[in-house]
Amino acid sequence: MKNYNISKLAEALRQFRLSYNLTQEAVAAELGIDQSTYSMMENGSSEWPISRLFKLAELYKVDPAHLLSYDRSMPISPGSNYQSGNNNKYLNQTNKELIELYERIISLEKENLHLHYKLENHPKR
């Protein structure tokens, strides 16, 4: 997870959607959101609740950690390693740590954006 960032999760969302031959509209409908909101998730330009991670994992039939640790070299095998209907099975300590890490990354990304904004808008002396 050393090189993990939000853009990797966004890329995972896109790659899984394409592997399942789904449209953004179809995935958005499964999540109960509109297509534009899902598009922002897939582009990495919006925050979203962790609960959506579990809905996406169920949709793609993977462990939620698989989405968080997605690497382009990983093959996507639709329906290969997730049994739907029991998300609690996957809330083991490792996954809880991944969720905490994801939430921390979101927080750090916000801080980073704020600092960049301050640097860009601070008058030079």
pLDDT tens by residue, 60-82: 888 887 788 777 776 676 654 43
* DSSP element (H, E) containing 96: helix 93-121
Question: What is the DSSP-derived secondary structure letter of residue 84?
Answer: T
Mean pLDDT of the chain: 77
Q: How confident is the model at residue 30 (pLDDT cuts 50, 70, 90)?
A: very high
Q: What percentage of residues in the chain have a pLDDT greater than 90?
A: 25
Query: Distance between CA 111 and CA 39 in Å, rounded?
Result: 23
DSSP notation for 13-73: HHHHHHHTT--HHHHHHHHTS-HHHHHHHHTT-S---HHHHHHHHHHHTS-HHHHHT--TT
Query: Distance between CA 58 and CA 52 in Å, rounded?
Result: 10
pLDDT at 50 over 70: yes
Question: What is the DSSP-derived secondary structure letter of residue 77?
Answer: -
- On whether the pTM is more than 0.85, the answer is no
Class for domain 6-121, per CATH?
Answer: mainly alpha
**Residues 63 and 81: beta-carbon distance below 8 Å:** yes
Which sequence spans correspond to the domains of the chain?
A: 6-121
Of 40 and 3, the one with more pLDDT: 40
For the chain, the residue count is 125
pLDDT at 84 over 70: no
